[in-house]
Amino acid sequence: MRAVLPAPLRKPPPGAVLRAPFDSESSTDHTRRQTLLRSISNALGVVLGLLQTGGLLRGVEVAVERNGIRGVAINAGTAQEIFASYAQRDKTLRRIVGSLQAMGSRYRTAPIPPDFAAPTADPSGRFTSTVEYRKPDSPDPATAEFTRLTPEWADLQGAYYRQLVAQGLLFAYGPEYLTDGYYLDPTAIVTPGAAQGARRASGGTPSGAYVVFPDIEHEPLRYRILDGLTSAPRGSDIIDLWHDDFGYYYERKDQRIYVPAPWESSRK
């Protein structure tokens, strides 16, 4: 359920302060950020689809059994095979969901930082995202490059790498990180039910909470519970929140947007 109150017709007074933190964001940067958010949402949908349907990535993952342990293999039957038990894979997919959620919140509340340059094209028509970072045990900067078929895919891969660094996850390096990129592929297709025996995540259910977003377009994570006592500002959006294994969310413009739990503020 979604209700929209009529927006006020008044114009802002001359000299009004511009909206922060996006007051200096150019149209090019805005378009790139919105495109990146769609890519994040698409990748999130793929991983949630795998978890909620017991699915496999078509053409990538194969259900196998190794030494009596059931799981999935990538590059099955080759020297490059990567095997993960269902429990290991579940942990990896849930970690990826957490990183994608954090990325969604990050780019909905702040512009893309200046040091995160847009992908560049090479003569072959592929696109490369370059990410500079520092390892914990080295004072010297390092560079990671991700070359993909489209600028959107390269930008998503670069943003994901930056997120792993920010979370301190990248340098706790393990074999499971080698497979993360497969789940960010915008062409990925989920085959539901193919991972027979894998743990499934719950699907979304209504939370029972209706919330007010005073300015959902510019502040999509700021809201309050609709309590029937406080009037909603004109132009507000009133939306019902849903809940799944990963938290509270709503859907807007074909994107699943995770938000802080609506009762967190009342507990403080």
Backbone angles phi, psi at 209, to 5 degrees: -100, 130
Q: Digits of tens for pLDDT over the chain (268 positions)? A: 454 443 333 343 443 344 567 888 899 999 999 999 999 999 999 999 999 999 999 999 999 999 999 999 999 889 888 999 999 999 999 999 999 999 999 999 999 999 999 999 999 999 999 988 777 777 778 888 899 999 999 999 999 999 988 887 766 555 567 789 999 999 999 999 999 999 999 888 998 888 889 888 888 988 888 877 777 778 788 888 999 999 999 999 889 999 988 765 444 4
- Residues in contact with 183: Cβ distance below 8 Å, sequence separation at least 6, in sequence order: 43, 46, 47, 50, 57, 93, 96
* Tokens linked to 88: 């290991």
- Residues in contact with 244: Cβ distance below 8 Å, sequence separation at least 6, in sequence order: 48, 201, 202, 203, 204, 205
Q: What span, in angstroms and rounded, lies between the C-alpha atoms of 46 and 177?
A: 17
Strands 190-191 and 224-225, sheet pairing: unpaired
